[in-house]
Amino acid sequence: MITIALSKGRIFEETVPLLAAAGIVPSENPESSRKLILGTNRADVRLVIVRATDVPTYVQYGAADLGIAGYDVLLEHGGAGLYQPLDLQIAACKLMVAVAEGFDYHAAVKQGARLRVATKYVESAREHFAAKGVHVDLIKLYGSMELAPLVGLADAIVDLVSTGSTLKANKLVAVEHVLDVSSRLVVNPASLKLKRAGVQPILDAFAHATAQHAEHHHA
């Protein structure tokens, strides 16, 4: 049995075509099903539906052989015990520093002010500000970072931005790029060794589909 860990929502939606390229069709839609283990058209492949941030953990401990996780999630996890062979280039977005409209971030940085920064991405944020020599106190949040500057919890946030409409709706502006994010395939190294006959063709199909997709975009 090959077990693939996925999160619901954007990652699942963008993974369906990759699975199809590997000849795998989920038998149910996780958005409408309450099942956490989904069968597929292949008796030897199943999907487990977990929280996006839990995907690396399931794969690291071998509860899933493969998984798909955002680079943001992988940086926070640290990547221990994970083979990361492929950037699937799906669920793309950017990790950005954002502040309330009217807050002069660059002036504050220039003055050497100590900034309070709220984020779910403390590891990536710590590294970013350390590299820039910006003094920060990081405040760990688990969601809705956009609220923090509006109620005085923080001067700035570090959050993912795709369309920018969430920042705009909350009168926030992006002031600094931290890193580009897309989702990656993660593989349990023991699974790759012991289940190679089943796992390798899936890796190859994903790689092929990703390369074709990229070619299409450049054409």
Interface residue list for ligand PRT (CB under 6 A): 7, 9-11, 51-53, 70, 72-73, 91, 93, 143, 159-166, 181, 183
Backbone angles phi, psi at 36, to 5 degrees: -100, -15
Nearer to ligand PRT by C-beta: 7 or 15? 7
Q: How far is the CB of 84 from ligand PRT (least distance, A)?
A: 14
Q: How far is the CB of 177 from ligand PRT (least distance, A)?
A: 14
The strand pairing partners of 190, in sequence order, are none
Query: Environment class of residue 205 by beta-carbon count within 10 Å: exposed (0-12), middle (13-18) or buried (19+)?
Result: middle
In angstroms, rounded to a whole number, what is the distance separating the alpha carbons of residues 73 and 185? 12
Q: How far is the CB of 138 from ligand PRT (least distance, A)?
A: 17
Query: Environment class of residue 114 by beta-carbon count within 10 Å: exposed (0-12), middle (13-18) or buried (19+)?
Result: exposed
In angstroms, rounded to a whole number, what is the distance separating the alpha carbons of residues 115 and 137? 6
Nearer to ligand PRT by C-beta: 18 or 199? 18
Nearer to ligand PRT by C-beta: 155 or 159? 159
In angstroms, rounded to a whole number, what is the distance separating the alpha carbons of residues 110 and 127? 19
The CB-nearest residue to ligand PRT is 70
Nearer to ligand PRT by C-beta: 42 or 84? 84
In angstroms, rounded to a whole number, what is the distance separating the alpha carbons of residues 161 and 96? 7
In angstroms, rounded to a whole number, what is the distance separating the alpha carbons of residues 39 and 49? 11
Q: How far is the CB of 43 from ligand PRT (least distance, A)?
A: 28
Nearer to ligand PRT by C-beta: 43 or 169? 169
Q: How far is the CB of 107 from ligand PRT (least distance, A)?
A: 25
If phi > 0 it is left, if psi is from -120 to 50 it is alpha, else beta; for residue 139 that is: beta
In angstroms, rounded to a whole number, what is the distance separating the alpha carbons of residues 126 and 118? 11
Q: How far is the CB of 145 from ligand PRT (least distance, A)?
A: 7
Nearer to ligand PRT by C-beta: 10 or 126? 10
